[in-house]
Structure 1
């Protein structure tokens, strides 16, 4: 009855649902009925083509609306910011978002039912046919997306996105304008080749938090700032030729840090750290900051008499601190 799609001057829209009652339901039949209702409602709440900022929170349908799918999204030529928060039951991201021509910021937060993201998410030319993926052309996916924020996809294990062949141009690459990538709390073992492409030149800032299965980060030619926090399986960081600043916190199993000739600043933080990692001896940042436990801190203060000091002695400017007891 709201007939939102006819509001031709509507610029900003927020859609909120309360999923508390739904999540408390034990009767499966009743839950499915509630989902059908909310799915029917969101279909009728399709925004007008004038919309520039759309926010959805608490939606508990099992699928997102058809107006987010191909080819309906082509009508939203002005949408610049899209935020979807608390998608407790959605199992698949819509494959029409990549066709939004003006989208600059995309944030997907708390979507625990999503386990994999296929190539159709970032490629409008990848269509599912007979259970497989068929590439139909070289249309650019997410042509103006600058910021991608993926947080709380806690069961997300696979991101299928292959790098294009040698004959492909930068213009045909998905997300060519991506500058900032933030991923929090998921089970990805690695970042996809299509993201870590040798042709990607805009990506400057990458932040990875609580990626429980991530094992390596490599081959990002344009990244200037990298922060990794609480990635317990991370072993290797390599081939980031323009990296200037790196922050490593609570990643105790990193063994290799190489291929970063432009490194200027390095910060490390871990209250459980007993020794300075060996890979610190292989890099030469201008500035190095370490926040560790009090025992290691006191050892490093003794200078050359410490068995750990030689690992940082080659760095001109060092700042060492420790975690105070509360």
Structure 2
């Protein structure tokens, strides 16, 4: 699995850099569907060991073999090669810092608490996975477009695309989070059963972080797609956020180890997202104050409802009703952005 996952990640990068997004998407969808069906078939057949993961590993290795590049016929300029290697190295450092920090959270949770707490944390983290996947998907879509934009378009056009993407993401993801946050406790109880009380408040840290990370993707992309300096800034933000998160753990674990884990992760991750957002905000003179103020006000309202609901043990229908009210207010406030989103989706949905 390590070999197949590493190989796939490497060749995804080659597709990404070579502008072969369509081919990568087809293979990714094919692997996902085929491996899911194969794993389900093995489980139904009564196989309940690690062997059920074999189809995923085999399919990823197949992708690696089919995608193995042929020897280039044209030599590459040394200066260009050094620039590419620097870009890849910086990207790798930044990814290791942010992803490594995220993965380390689970390990630190086990070290500072116990395996029961790790299970609680994992249960909360599972529900935020779709929001986190949005970040990776958006990066794959936006990076080629914004990279080309730096070359073929003016700064005004890049600014317009950045503003449009960020505005639509705020509208959609904050709306989704505003619904998810108040009902998160009920969803955890529905999915995992009773006994996951810690997961109910842990997830209240994780959802805003996942939302902020996804909303920051256009800013991260516009910074990193311009030059190696931008990638250096992104890597530095990832390292800074991870370092601050670790400091929070060191300070708070002796005081309250259960609270320290999600709080440290939230603080570090928000810094990782905030630095490139602020850089893009200043560099392109974006008018985001109103957008971000409304977004955080909406999330704060949803969090207050969630805390009140957990304290007073609201039933699911009551939490869901509050969530719908918040969503309706959000749609009303963001009606122009909602109308723009509907206009863009109409051709895709209705032809």
TM-score range relative to shorter protein = under 0.3
Structure-2-length-normalised TM-score: 0.24
- Higher strand residue share: 1
TM-score by length of structure 1 reads 0.26
Question: By percentage of residues, which structure has more helix?
Answer: 2
Bigger Rg, which one? 1
